[in-house]
Structures are given as structure tokens and as C-alpha cells.
Amino acid sequence: MATEPMVHVIDDDDSARHSLEFLIDCAGLKVRSYESAIDFLKSVPDIDQGCIVTDVRMPEMNGIELVGRLKSLGVTDPVIVITGHADVPMAIQAMKQGVADFIEKPFSDEAILGAIRSALARASDRNEKDAQRDEIRARMETLSQREREVLGGLVEGHANKVIAFDLDISARTVEVYRANVMAKMQARSLSELVRMATIAEMAE
């Protein structure tokens, strides 16, 4: 069973942090708060996946610096930046770095909760796609070298006779390899096999 996603709230303002934590908790979402970016980074190796909500202006390390640090650590959880009006240019810079959203103060409960739910949905979709890609790649690992070559020909749209000519084997032998590929990849049709091959080639 998948672990319920966690919303990580980072803000050095105690009242703002506790207020947001309370709101998220009342919305039925798991939440944990941190009083600084440094405090959060100490927990990174063991954090539950979900999304990160951080204020821009914080001592020691601001929200934008945190985004850069998380990137270097390979943390892929979507980040929502909370910003004051004067910080909007900074927030736009953060968007260019891949931040999921930025919410300008003062914001409504609906605005922040909507942004959090959208971020969690995107993260869930990405995780499912990653799992699907890994599963397909694992199936491809079971293919022999010749089966991989036949798969390559099929993905290119080549007919059995063309693949047979290219590999210097008989068309009947290609049919046998093709059947093996379909079975090992658990593909019900050629179009599904091509889709799987495309997904397997997707960058992480």
C-alpha cells in the first residue's frame, strides 16, 4: 500500500508556520513543519515523499537557495513558494528553477490548499510513471540480445521480412523471436509494445 504523502511546511515565523500546519491538518493531509531551511535539510534523507511549502524570506538560507540545494540533493518533491509582494521577481526566478507554484501573501485557505493538492497530484502521477518505466525496463532486461534486436526492428516499424534481412535470419525465426518478445514484455499488441519501448527510453 502506498505511503500517504506528507506536506512539509518551512517558515521561520512561528505563528504563520503553526497556522498553516493547522490548516493543512484540518484538510485531512499529513503535515510536518520546520522552523528553517537548515532544519528541513537535516531531515531530508528520511523525509516522507509529498510536497514542500516554503517561505521565501528566512534567515541563514532563503527559500530560493533551498530550492537549489534540494535540486543538488536529488529531491524531486514539488516545491510551493510563499512570497510577499516585494518578492515576486524572486518567486518568478524560482519558477524558472522548477518550482511547482508560488503563492503571494496574503493568500486564502482555498488558494494554498488548492496549490498543495495540485502539487501532490502531479507528484503522484510522476511517481506512477517512474514505477511504470522501471517495470518496463525490468522486463526488457529479460530479453536476449537477439530479442532486443528484433524489438528494435519492430519499434522502427519494420516488417518481419525486413528484420529478417537486416539480421540475416529467416522470417520464421523472426516470428519466433517476436512471439518471445511479446510474451516477456507482456504486450497484448504491437502498438502496446511500441508504447512500452518509448516509455523505457524516457529520461528519469
3-class secondary-structure state, position 55? strand
In this prediction, residue 1 carries a pLDDT of: 37
Question: What domains are there in the chain, each with its CATH number?
Answer: 6-130 (3.40.50.2300), 142-200 (1.10.10.10)
In this prediction, residue 204 carries a pLDDT of: 56
Q: How far is CA 14 from the centre of its chain?
A: 31
Written as nine digits, the cell of 63 is 527559500
In this prediction, residue 130 carries a pLDDT of: 78
- For the question of whether the overall pTM of this predicted structure is more than 0.95, the answer is no
Instruction: Report the chain's mean pLDDT, rounded to a whole number.
Output: 86
> Alpha-carbon distance 13 to 32, whole Å?
15
State what percent of residues in the chain have pLDDT above 70. 94
In this prediction, residue 194 carries a pLDDT of: 84
Written as nine digits, the cell of 97 is 528553477
Low-confidence ranges of the chain (pLDDT < 70): 1-2, 85-89, 91-92, 202-204
Smallest CA-to-CA distance from 5 within 40, 26, 29, 38 is with 29
